[in-house]
Amino acid sequence: MSEGFSEPYKIVFPDIPSAGVYFFTTPSGMQYEVRFGRKKDDILSATIVFGVINEEFEGEEYVMTNKNEVYHVMATIVKIIQTFRNEHPNVRSYEFTGEPKHGESIDSPTQRIRLYYRYVQKMFDNRDWDINFGKNTIIVQRKK
């Protein structure tokens, strides 16, 4: 199935929207967490981290598996980010980090960050948002 037609998985939303922690489970049993953290010096900036939280991946927090579910996983993450954005319209920047996997260089964009970049471009309209793509970071800022 192509990425444009993937359906999101069922999302477990936080009881309190300001909590900013969402969960979902894939049919293969992978449990994901999507967390929105606020920066201490700027509460209107959010850092987004997500990945598998199954015990079998203990020690490597926020891994992303590829069990032929990547397009559904990303569709679910897009839906979660859209929900968070609707509930928090005053947030003016978002940061995504794609930590290098074993064997990847920190001196060039990681496979993860390149995947995230494709989706970030779909989630944020470049008329209203600046998208800055770094080696392993994407920062999206509302235009002034």
50-69, pLDDT tens digit by residue? 888 876 655 444 455 556 78
pLDDT higher than 80, residue 107: no
CA-based nearest residue to 113, from 99, 103, 98: 98
Report the alpha-carbon distance of residue 101 to residue 105 in Å, rounded: 8
pLDDT higher than 90, residue 24: yes
What is the average pLDDT across 12-27? Answer: 92
Apex 19 CA angle, 17 and 24, nearest 5: 80
pLDDT in tens, 70-85: 889 999 999 999 999 9
pTM of the model: 0.84
**% of the chain at pLDDT higher than 70:** 87
Report the alpha-carbon distance of residue 85 to residue 120 in Å, rounded: 13
| CB neighbourhood size of 90 (10 A) | 7
User: Is 9 within 8 Å of 25 (Cβ atoms)?
Assistant: yes
| Kind plus residue range of the DSSP H or E element containing 87 | helix 70-87
